[in-house]
A and B are shown apart, each in its own frame.
Chain A
Amino acid sequence: MSQRQDLILQLVKKVSKKSETPSPDESLFESGYLDSFALPDLVAELEEQFSVKIPDSDLSPRKFDSIERIEAYLDGQG
């Protein structure tokens, strides 16, 4: 797991209040780490921790469905 993935994982654990570790490609929704009301908290945490502003046009839940997808999205933000 990369350093960036590890930070994403910590944020997922923070908003999900779960101590288990999902695999990088595991669906965070299907495995119960995220629900509709935890997702906005995760997005806010990502913005703060990675110093990015996620525009409304990028607010598609699929972009945040796994640690790998989140990392790919953040990589695309530079």
Chain B
Amino acid sequence: MSFLQNVGHWLPQRVVSNEEIGALLGCAADWILGVSGIEERRYADAEESTVSMGVAAAQSCLQSAGLNADAIGYLICSSGTAARRFPGPAVSIAHSLGCAQIPAIDLPVASAGALVALDLAKDLAPRYGRVLVVATEKMSEVALTEPMERGTSMLFGDGAGACVVSREAGSLEIVDSLVASDGQFADDLALPFASPLNMNGRSVILHASRKIPRAVEDLLSRNGLTPSDVSAYVMHQANLNLITKVATSLNVPIERFFTNIARYGNTSSASLLIAASEWMRTSPPASGQYAVFTVFGAGFQWGSMLLRAV
């Protein structure tokens, strides 16, 4: 049995409004809001990296949990925007935190990465004690790569989230999880080396709007639950219209879906943990209540995780 012990996050200070990015892309601020639900996003400055943001999020998480770096037995870093091919951010984050010679691995999975990491951490925690999951993304570098495309570039923001998965009791028990992939559509959402992001938005939305509800319903069904039994959903903050569509498919009030995409945009894999961190701080679930985390992204990879408040 594993538990989500604590969640933290970090965001750059610089706020980029729809007016600012719209002027750059040649589109209206209201159009961005209408097609995405995004009002603003955060951009890291030149000195801020996936490593520095990941370290800041991890420190926030560890400090609020009252944990020192030597309490961590394993580190998993999710990032699709690492600064180099290898080594990835994981070892640098572990070193910066002062985690002494623990295993530290990278998952370059992009948007679904945090949940894939949580799925692994759930199984690693009984062996390693506490697993630190970090998801950190500098998507502004992707968004601002020429040639920019308005429907893609306006979406993204920077940030990082982190959480500790422990074999010791924490605030949320990880009950079950389900992850999947389908490489048939790998080219429909891809970031090639030294090229702009390639995104077939129609394909992404078509698959996401069918696979996410199915992943949630399958996970709940095998645990004897239905979507209405879940008090809170935390979904990858890809697009507010997609989140609304998933809520409709599940026949769940949109109010049960925590959202912060209006303020931060799509921060790829970081978005799940940033949202989970804010959700835990602003509206923590009562004991016994169920929550579902769910994601979809490049690959395609997708999944869901069922949690129960302790």
- A50, B241: Cα distance in complex, Å: 27
B contact residues around A43 at 8 Å (CB): 206, 210
Q: 30 pairs across A/B with beta carbons < 8 Å?
A: A29-B202, A35-B202, A36-B201, A36-B202, A36-B204, A36-B205, A36-B206, A37-B205, A37-B209, A37-B241, A37-B245, A39-B205, A40-B205, A40-B209, A40-B210, A40-B245, A43-B206, A43-B210, A56-B182, A56-B207, A56-B210, A56-B211, A57-B184, A59-B203, A59-B206, A59-B207, A59-B210, A61-B200, A61-B202, A61-B206
Interface size class, chain A: 10 to 19
B204: nearest chain-A partner, CB-CB: A36
- Whole-angstrom distance between the alpha carbons of A37 and B209 in the complex? 9
A56 to B209, CA, bound (A): 11
Q: In this assembly, does A60 line the interface, its C-beta being within 8 Å of a C-beta of chain B?
A: yes
A44's closest neighbor in chain B, by CB?
A: B210
Q: Is the interface of B mostly helix, strand, loop or mixed?
A: helix
* 4 A-B pairs closest in CB distance: A36-B205, A61-B202, A40-B209, A36-B202
* Chain A neighbourhood of B204, CB < 8 A: 36
CB distance from B173 to the nearest CB of A (A): 31
CB neighbours (8 Å) of B202 from chain A are 29, 35-36, 39, 61
Given A37-B241, A37-B245, A40-B245: A60 touches B203 (CB 8 Å cut-off): yes
- Please report which residues of chain A, range 17-56, place their CB below 8 angstroms from some CB of chain B when the two chains form the complex: 29, 35-37, 39-40, 43, 56
Distance, CA A61 to CA B201, complexed state (A): 10
In B244-259, which residues have CB < 8 Å from any A CB?
245
- Given the complex of chains A and B, what is the CA–CA distance between A35 and B151 in angstroms? 12
Give the Cβ gap from A9 to chain B, nearest Cβ, in Å. 20
Complex CA gap A12/B30 in Å reads: 26
Find the residue from B184, B206, B207, B211 having the highest chain A CB count within 10 A. Answer: B206
Bound together, the chains give a CA A39 to CA B242 distance in angstroms of 12
B residues less than 8 Å from A59 (CB atoms): 203, 206-207, 210
CA of A39 to CA of B241 in the docked complex: distance in angstroms? 13
Query: Does the CB pair A40–B206 fall under 8 Å?
Result: yes
B201-230 CB mask vs A (1 if < 8 Å, else 0) is: 111111101110000000000000000000
A35 contact set on B, CB distance < 8 A: 202
Query: Chain B residue with minimal CB distance to A60?
Result: B203
